[in-house]
Structure 1
């Protein structure tokens, strides 16, 4: 019987790449994302299951759990994202709330809903939370996002402590600069010029497939191996605020 994996935020970027790679490894992949058309196309292409799901909405999460079924082997909590780059003094409270609800409360809701199915996997269950180096370090202009990703990081650590005697592994991957089609575009409200400047001159930022390969590697270690935290950055990036750029 095929093992089941659930990937949230699967309509693009890291989530889509992870879903494709898990399907290549033989998993039945339940692909969840808000954009129904995109996630349906993805699921059709990989032989998976599509669920239109906003992880901050209880009814959507309940439908996701139903579609996943009674046994889930891998949960990749990838839904999230960054909005804005204002200083704390100029923060848009609504954007902070949206980031917190998606990154933190969305991860919480999906984990709660699927935890019984992960336990039912009989020792083969694993949670991979997609965090960020923003969850480990602070940087100017990143207040709302760093707060949200710090929340994901501490939730992961807490859950691991609370489930220490349960047959479920709890892990986190914290990527640095990843050049995907939408992350920075979303952060800057669709401003393509500002989004492109984030990666301008950077030799070899990570791409979605780099992170997906690491996620799947973590998820397919032997059942007794727990990769607590994997930090993944491009060679050009030493820290969120320190990135090597080639002269234009």
Structure 2
């Protein structure tokens, strides 16, 4: 797993780095194919927004420079990139240092093919999300303790992905994915006003649905509606459709998801 800090390969992190002490930064995880980041414009836009909200002064051109280095090292640059923006080294305490943030890139080489539908069994987790500070809603900050605990519960239940609700009793997302729900013959994705991540694949799917004239509501979904779900799938940058065949042991209709996957050509993500 090659690791780069500001386009220079490194093998460790400073003990005074604020990413280590406070989770002070943001990140994105992307699939890379033939040296190109898929959904690059969406990833970069979210990183830029995250840096603005978190007051991180980061030179994102380090990412392109890192890709250039990777292309010199590998015949084929295929796999997964994790891009981390850290505020960098600092003194003890919460006060912000004045220097620029650091751009870290981790490369996980792996052969990549066109996307395919993944079929899973899932359920609703007992643990719930809280409400985020308004300025942090939608961002992928480095503080992922909620997801760590939620993923542990999902693993204990044998679910590759699971539905997560919040303290207000509304559906939010998956542990590491956004979700789309078929209810009353209408596609819905939860409104992410108080928590959740504004995922790049969610944005791409919404854009393609609009282009195809397929209605999709963005609204709050209550716990009482879960038993009425007709279809459900999860999505993130590494998988456009994890199709749920059973939710809490209740069979769901997979055909609307398959038809949507084909209509939107989700096997082709660039």
Q: Larger helix proportion, structure 1 or 2?
A: 1
State whether TM-score is above 0.5. no
Q: Larger strand proportion, structure 1 or 2?
A: 2
Bigger CA radius of gyration: 2
TM-score, normalised relative to structure 1? 0.25
